[in-house]
């Protein structure tokens, strides 16, 4: 059974929905694993949305570990306080011995020291090898480059932002319908909204299917490398077909 550590700032409704989706899948035996703890870089009383998130965590009887980064943030060198902060984070989560840590709306950059202690995966809203940065920057770059496909990927967290080894991914065409009309019109704003809509619909299925695949040995992480069920090194597990099936189910 996969021992999952869940990292989230808990800043919005999406954070609660994602935790709920994975918790439901793990308790329906779809994911052969469980969330052994939830870590947040906020503490109770800091924000209403995070407090709602904490209430959900407690309702599931999942151990909640909190440490406010505000106690460490200083005027000095950012890298220094982040290292100190993550060392304290490590002390708090070490007893849970997670097999895998999932960054799910965690709004801090993880230090090199911490991400090298644990296998950590993060969602990035772009295809493998695609643009880096926020989802807004990614979409504008796809439009600017007249890209054929968009997508999302789960990747290992490394010191290099958004460039860790790809664990899984999904792709979808942005050249056919309903995109073609807006490419012809050069309506960049409509293209932006459509691409975001289609990518967002795939985020939750990609995360839950990735955890399902990892928990069942269809894909594994060994020594910071991603391998398939046959033990061969791969550059990411293509879940496009399975994700599309889930998206169709959700549209019904």
- Domains annotated on the chain, with CATH: 1-118 (3.40.50.170), 125-151+159-252 (no CATH)
Tens digit of each residue's pLDDT (9 = 90 or more) over 184-193? 999 999 999 9
**What angle (nearest 5°) sits at the alpha carbon of residue 67, between those of residues 102 and 13?**
55
Pair of tokens at residue 172: 């979808």
Half-sphere exposure of 227 (CA within 13 A, CB side): 12
The average pLDDT across 159-169 equals 83
CA 105 to chain centre: 7
Q: Give the 3-state secondary structure percentages of the chain, helix then strand then coil, rounded to 5.
A: 45, 20, 35
What whole-number distance in Å separates Cα of residue 236 and Cα of residue 234?
Answer: 6
Pair of tokens at residue 170: 């999904």
Tens digit of each residue's pLDDT (9 = 90 or more) over 78-118? 678 888 899 999 999 999 999 999 999 898 889 888 988 99
Half-sphere exposure of 107 (CA within 13 A, CB side): 11
pTM of the shown model? 0.91
């Amino acid at each position: 059974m996969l021992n999952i550590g869940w990292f989230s700032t808990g800043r919005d409704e999406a954070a609660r929905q994602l935790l709920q989706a994975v918790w439901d899948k793990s308790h329906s035996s779809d994911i052969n694993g469980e969330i052994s703890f939830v870590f947040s870089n906020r503490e109770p009383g800091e924000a209403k949305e995070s407090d709602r998130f904490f209430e959900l965590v407690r309702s599931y009887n999942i151990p909640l570990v909190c440490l406010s980064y505000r106690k460490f943030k200083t005027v000095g060198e950012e890298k220094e306080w982040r290292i100190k902060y993550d060392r304290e984070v490590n002390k708090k989560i070490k007893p849970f011995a997670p097999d895998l840590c999932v960054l799910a709306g965690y709004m801090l950059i993880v230090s090199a020291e911490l991400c090298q202690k644990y296998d950590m995966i993060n969602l990035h809203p772009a295809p493998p090898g695609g643009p880096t940065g926020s989802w807004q920057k990614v979409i504008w770059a796809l439009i600017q480059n007249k890209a054929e496909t968009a997508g999302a990927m789960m990747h290992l967290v490394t010191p290099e932002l958004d460039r860790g080894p790809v664990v899984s991914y999904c792709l979808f065409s942005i050249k056919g319908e309903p995109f073609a009309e807006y490419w012809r019109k050069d309506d960049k704003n409509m293209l932006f909204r459509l691409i975001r809509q289609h990518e967002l619909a795939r985020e939750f299925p990609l995360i839950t299917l990735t955890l399902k695949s990892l928990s069942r040995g269809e894909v594994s992480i060994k020594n910071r490398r991603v391998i398939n069920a046959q033990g061969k090194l791969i550059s990411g597990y293509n879940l496009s077909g399975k994700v599309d099936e889930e998206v169709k189910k959700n549209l019904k």
